[in-house]
Amino acid sequence: MRIAVDGMGGDNAPDEIVKGCVEVAKLIDDEIYVLGIEDEIRRELKKYKFDTNKIKIVNATEVIENDDAPVKAARTKKDSSMIKGLSLVKDKTCDFFVSGGNTGALMAGSLFILGRIKGIDRPAIGMTYPIIGGGMSFLVDSGANSECKSSNLLDFAVMGSIYMQKVLDIREPSVGLVNIGSEEKKGTQVLKETYQLLSKSSLNFIGNVEGRDIPYGTADVLVCDGFVGNTILKLSEGLALKVMEFLKDMFKSSPITKMSALMMSNKLKDMKKMFDYSEYGGAPILGVNGAVIKIHGSSDANAVKNAIIKGRQYAENNVVDLISDSIAKLEDLTAGE
Amino acid sequence: MRIAVDGMGGDNAPDEIVKGCVEVAKLIDDEIYVLGIEDEIRRELKKYKFDTNKIKIVNATEVIENDDAPVKAARTKKDSSMIKGLSLVKDKTCDFFVSGGNTGALMAGSLFILGRIKGIDRPAIGMTYPIIGGGMSFLVDSGANSECKSSNLLDFAVMGSIYMQKVLDIREPSVGLVNIGSEEKKGTQVLKETYQLLSKSSLNFIGNVEGRDIPYGTADVLVCDGFVGNTILKLSEGLALKVMEFLKDMFKSSPITKMSALMMSNKLKDMKKMFDYSEYGGAPILGVNGAVIKIHGSSDANAVKNAIIKGRQYAENNVVDLISDSIAKLEDLTAGE
């Protein structure tokens, strides 16, 4: 397998990106193409011992910055690490691409260069939602589309189910529609329509899921528009952080509580780790004709490593083709009505 | 002051409702009218000693149930405790009404009987959002309107600001628009328009607030549509509960951690209490011509007591009139453009 990695994307690029590539190269037999300004990547690589057959530099003279206007940057910065990385996937030189760069530009670039899977109107970004105490749900869309039609949400459900089966190893994942009540007539017109579409589909649809059920992992795949998805992720992250700060202060109050914090420190760290998105192997851009994985802008070497490992499974299991087949069947079904 | 209380609304009616009325009557000099099936209310009241000048029964032969269709129930069950309670506010017999009954029916009944404040297109339900470690934000809308126009959201901001000033005693409350990014061009078309309206208003608008900022109390008033608001409230509640369960298990792991849990038990209880909505004096239905307070269906006597205490401040400070004045000025402003 050949893997393309955006050496310039994210707050800790290129150092942590390169470090992550070097680390993962010890574990896998694939070739990793690190894209970026050659001198900078080479300087970082010099810090490590690595197999030169496994890590290669692809020079890219431009960098898409976080404050670049996404669509414009994707259209004009053709010699950027991001656009060149996507092109390596397009021409099948690489099996997948990992980037921690500008999310909007990565989405726009994916659309321009790879194109949509036939039948997919709106690609989406899927994100792992950690369940405290163990397990995870998978949330689609996590922020790419603020406003959605019911057909978009159905596509998200299909894509999320396939990802969960093939990459997160959950058989027949249950699908829940994020809504403000459990009854099928709840929520907006779009959600009422989506409820009907999901009910008729072959997915393992379990109905509406309310906010309070989400942290309990009630559904494997959580379907919602990107506005709601983004709010769910960020609110959960913020609340978890706030609770951890509150606990920290509480544990400081006496020698015994301090000691007990030490005794529980592994579990407390576990809890913190649950909301650390670097652990989850990145967020796939679902619905484009190629495997693209977005990692958080603040990703460290560990996040890069995990994203590459999950990405291999994503590419190896032909998730893109499986989505394409499922969406085609969906179209047949709709056409047959 | 005269206060109307729905004796039949909620899972713990009439017992906890009556108990709450008896308890609060010891603290205040007002008359409390408990509405409901006379025999049932009387039977509960018999359990307590109370001042018969302060607590009176108003017979209402019908009950609006939680699974009644809201609009139909509000239209047809004219002799229900809920509809009769609203009528007591309408004809100025009572200063405000507290109910733990069917939320949709209470909203519909408020619209039918009290009517909208002039200029308000969509009344909303405001809800206190607890900040861990202390303080609170106030979230409008918490679930009445799944879909909103920018003018609705502006009204929510105005109503929320007045409520915060007059009932929650926050001077010049800051107003934040719940969005998926801090930049003014973020989010849906409706939110972009709302950003402009809020910027031009005389409110203390501080811009967009993202999910991760909400638990930090970044804004006093959080403005959003009812779908997002409801999701925020329920997700926070669910996540807090899940964290508490996780902590409980963690503390059980050894004698020292058990001891430390005992030592911190007050603070842990505080944290649990923060997400216990019974502490916050209920949720006002904002934008109707009268003071109506919704309490949670699972409210106990303590919640009833707190709602009545906050309700007095709501009525005493003429919040309904102040909203009416502010909305009229807003209309003048818009008309003047």
In chain B, count H helices and then E strands. Answer: 12, 11
- In the predicted model, residues of chain B with pLDDT beneath 70 are 275-280, 332-337
Count Cβ neighbours within 10 Å for each residue of B130-162 and write b for 16 or more, e otherwise: bbbbeebbbbbbbbbbbebebbbbbbbbbbbbb
- A107 chain-B contacts, CB cut-off 8 A: none
Reported as a single tens digit per residue, the pLDDT across A160-170 is 999 999 999 99
φ, ψ at B32 (rounded to 5°)? -110, 125
CB contact under 8 A, A235 and B211: yes
pLDDT computed for residue A330 by the predictor:
84
- Cβ contacts (< 8 Å) between A178 and chain B: which residues? 231
| Closest residue of chain B to A231, computed from CA coordinates | B211
Number of residues that make up chain A: 337
User: Where is pLDDT greater, at A260 or A11?
Assistant: A11
Scan for tokens 């990703």, then name that residue. Answer: A299
pLDDT at A174 over 70: yes
The pLDDT of residue B277 is 58
Average pLDDT over residues A312-332: 93
pLDDT tens-digit series, residues A176-235: 999 999 989 899 999 999 999 999 999 999 999 999 999 999 999 999 999 999 999 999
Whether residue A180 and residue B143 make contact (CB cut-off 8 A), yes or no, is yes
pTM: 0.93
In the prediction, which pLDDT does A337 show? 45
Distance CA B147, CA A223 (A): 18
| Distance from C-alpha of B323 to C-alpha of B294, rounded to nearest angstrom | 18
Residues of A in Cβ contact (< 8 Å) with B226: 180
pLDDT at B272: 73
> Contact B215/A242, CB-based, under 8 Å?
yes
What is the per-residue pLDDT for B278? 55
Q: Name the more confident of A337 and B34.
A: B34
Residue A245: both structure tokens together: 């700060």
- Within 13 Å, how many C-alpha atoms sit on residue A212's CB side? 10
Partners of B274 on chain A (C-beta within 8 Å) are none
pLDDT digits (tens, 9 = 90+) for A45-75: 999 999 999 999 999 999 999 999 999 999 9
The 10s digit of each residue's pLDDT in A107-123 is 999 999 999 999 999 99
Nearest to B267 among A231, A234, A250 (CB): A250
- What percent of chain A clears pLDDT 70, i.e. is strictly above it? 96
pLDDT in tens, A253-295: 888 888 878 887 877 777 777 766 556 678 999 999 999 999 9
Side chain identity at residue A172, one-letter code: E
| Partner residues linked to A118 by β-bridges | none
In this prediction the ipTM stands at 0.92
